[in-house]
Structure 1
Amino acid sequence: MLDGMDIDGTDGKPYVLIESGNIPVTRENRFSSYNSYKNDVQAMPPNFIAPKTGIVYDNRMRYHGNIHEEEHHPEDPSRIYSIQKTIIKAGCLERMIYIKAREVTAEEACLVHTPEHWDFVNRTSGNGTQKAFYNDPNVVYCSIHRYENAHFYPGDKQASHTHVGGGNAKGKTINIPWPRPGMCDSDYIYAFNKVVMPIAFEFDPDIVIVSAGFDAAEGDPMGENHVSPVAYGHMTHMLKSLAGGKLVLALEGGYNLESISKSALACVKVLLGESPARLGPIKPSQDCIETIHQVIRVQSRYWSSLAPEYVDASEDKTPGKFVVSMIGNQSL
């Protein structure tokens, strides 16, 4: 029944995957839409399990392509169509709630941006999630990315592990910068277990929003890493344990159509309640271990869930505290 559908929504509004038991997306029609859905559910058989995962799709997202015909860029509208088609083929669409979306208002955008920035973005085009929340103590921003000492796109030194947030928000920005391409499942899962999840549990967020960058997936021509759909499923599964399951996945990078489709499907299945497939032994690379140690060495001064504890002798004279060596088990 759904195989031939072009899941727009439609009205043509943007695409994002939402998990949280009907997270309201609009102010005007969210309650009426939900009440209509609830009435339909009440008419279902007693053993019917109401879906808790929503999907929003917009045909206009297919227009997000390279406007300079003489230049090649992997940004391709077929990325969206490929993911849509894979979700439908797997039978996941009929297990999800349709949610209509709308464009963000200036009032909403200016909750985290200045009116001048809103005007600027309207005239041009922007990346800046880290900068948007860099001084906000109420938001934890965490990014795992290919860095190569700022030689990889976008070449920003602020993506290093030493940039941790400003003012009262120190420690609320966590960068995990890979020194090279070729990082694998074990490296990402190790980063999650050692840094991302301990900090996330300690912070105890109300909602988790993920910029789902599938450019780390196996086969991606830009990221050149080797993360499998299974690993994406496991990372989604871990994040789903936070905030009572209030988890949003918003598509970001990823330019190999097969890779992004399989990776997105693995995430969707986890959102729908399926368990991720078996991952295998976790054996992180030496580059991964060294990077995580560097991150922990900096972030442990802000998060008690991270060890070793970092204490700068010039900043803290508290009796009984000590610095744990990064090599071996001896204390300094």
Structure 2
Amino acid sequence: MQSGADPPGSGLKVRRSPRLSKTPDGSPQVPSSSKGNKGRKGGNSLQEAKRRGRMEKSKEEELSEQLQQLDLSSRAAASGTGLVYCETFTHHRNLWEPSHPESPDRVTAVLAEVERQDLLSHCVRVEPREATEEELLLVHTKQYVDLMRSTQTMTETELHSLSDSYDSVYLHPESFQVASLAVGSVLQLVDKVMTSELRNGFAVVRPPGHHAQSNQSNGFCVFNNVAAAARYAQRRHAAHRVLIVDWDVHHGQGIQYLFQDDPSVLYVSLHRYEGGLFWPHLPESDRQEVGGGRGEGFTCNLPWDQTGMTDADYIAAFQQLLLPLAYEFQPQLVLVAAGFDAAVGDPKGEMCVSPQCFSYSGPAAASNCD
């Protein structure tokens, strides 16, 4: 495991945007704020960020009012926060490295805190389910899905060998079942939110997903649950515009690769980069990557080039970058890859974001997280 190669967190949020307006032909328009990033060098991007930071207070207040309209649903029937979790998520574990950081403790700690804060009574429990093969094939190749299915009967030696063929991955005999359950659980919340049975939801699931690519595991991730949720919402619920917000401290290149040519999915990622020195060490994690073809302008990366970023930095990024993009894009569903390794005290992330900041950013982005 490389130093700093400690990818995803264990959370995902899901929420439907109340404003469902679309262009006459039903297709999304290119957000000019995002498209304007094309081809800009770092200096120009910094100047643009400074220009945005000097917005007059009256304009900020006007934008804030508009965003409140985006976040506050006019559909009175949509209420309640769904929570999906089950004990099976603890079965995926590293057989040859018990102290591995991506461990069952990730989800048990979240549930323990939810119970300690007496939040369960404020949530609607949603039953998890495994994703079908058809649902996994929305974002993964059949060859890869079949390979992951075959791990159920592999020996520890075979699992170790296959795991080593990927970057920062381990596999367990139950990994296929648990990863399928993680995907299906997020889809359960998408169903509830898109049909207005719930206003939003939170899925405490693992293994995480945002690094997984169409044909390979990566960065602790087996199946890309966020990407599958976006495609599922489009196919099952005719969502024309889906916004994916990724605030995990590592760049979710798996999501970016899957949607980089797609104008129906706007992907916005805030992540530690440091000129490519931080995992996953990819040039496509930098700010100049804005998507291609018809998807040009629908990928927006905000790479942090230093550690110690605070609440003020993240809130400024949300107010000056994410929220204007979201308001212009008018998503029908917002998915948040809610890794919390940018939190203060995380030894790998080395950022200084407080719990209060995450709670502010979630509602502000009008997100439903899985």
**Are 1:83 and 2:209 counterparts?**
no
Alpha carbons 1:17, 1:54 under 8 Å: kept: no
> 2:265 is paired with a residue of what secondary structure?
coil
Which residue does 2:122 correspond to in 1?
A: 95
Please show how residues 1-332 of structure 1 align to structure 2 within 5 Å. 18-19=14-15, 52-69=80-97, 72-119=99-146, 122=149, 125-126=217-218, 128-240=254-366, 247-250=367-370
The amino acid that maps onto 2:82 is: G
Higher relative contact order (CA 8 A, sep 6+): 2
> 1:202 is paired with a residue of what secondary structure?
helix
- Quickly say closer, same or farther: Cα 1:86–1:53, change in 2 above 3 A: same
> 2:301 is paired with a residue of what secondary structure?
strand
Alpha carbons 2:14, 2:335 under 8 Å: kept: no
- Quickly say closer, same or farther: Cα 1:196–1:94, change in 2 above 3 A: same
**Shift, 1:109, TM fit:** 2.6
CA–CA separation in structure 2 for the residues paired with 1:93 and 1:63? 23
Task: Compare CA radii of gyration and give the structure with the larger one.
Answer: 1
Q: State the percentage of identical aligned residues.
A: 38
Alpha carbons 2:82, 2:124 under 8 Å: kept: yes
CA–CA separation in structure 2 for the residues paired with 1:89 and 1:214? 19
The amino acid that maps onto 2:281 is: G
CA–CA separation in structure 1 for the residues paired with 2:282 and 2:275? 9
Give 5+ residue unaligned stretches, structure 2: 1-9, 18-76, 152-215, 222-253
TM superposition score normalised by structure 2: 0.51
Alpha carbons 1:56, 1:101 under 8 Å: kept: yes
> 2:276 is paired with a residue of what secondary structure?
coil
Count matched residues.
Answer: 203
- Quickly say closer, same or farther: Cα 1:91–1:103, change in 2 above 3 A: same
Alpha carbons 2:82, 2:126 under 8 Å: kept: yes
**Shift, 1:99, TM fit:** 0.8
CA–CA separation in structure 1 for the residues paired with 2:11 and 2:286? 30
Alpha carbons 2:344, 2:351 under 8 Å: kept: yes
CA–CA separation in structure 1 for the residues paired with 2:269 and 2:368? 16
> 1:88 is paired with a residue of what secondary structure?
helix
- Quickly say closer, same or farther: Cα 1:19–1:98, change in 2 above 3 A: farther
RMSD, aligned α-carbons: 2.5
**Shift, 1:66, TM fit:** 3.1
The amino acid that maps onto 2:80 is: K
Provide runs of 4+ in structure 1 moved above 4 Å: 14-21, 120-124
**Shift, 1:193, TM fit:** 1.1
TM superposition score normalised by structure 1: 0.56
Q: Comparing both structures, which one devotes a greater share of its residues to helix?
A: 2
Give 5+ residue unaligned stretches, structure 1: 1-13, 22-48, 241-246, 251-332
Which residue does 2:195 correspond to in 1?
A: none
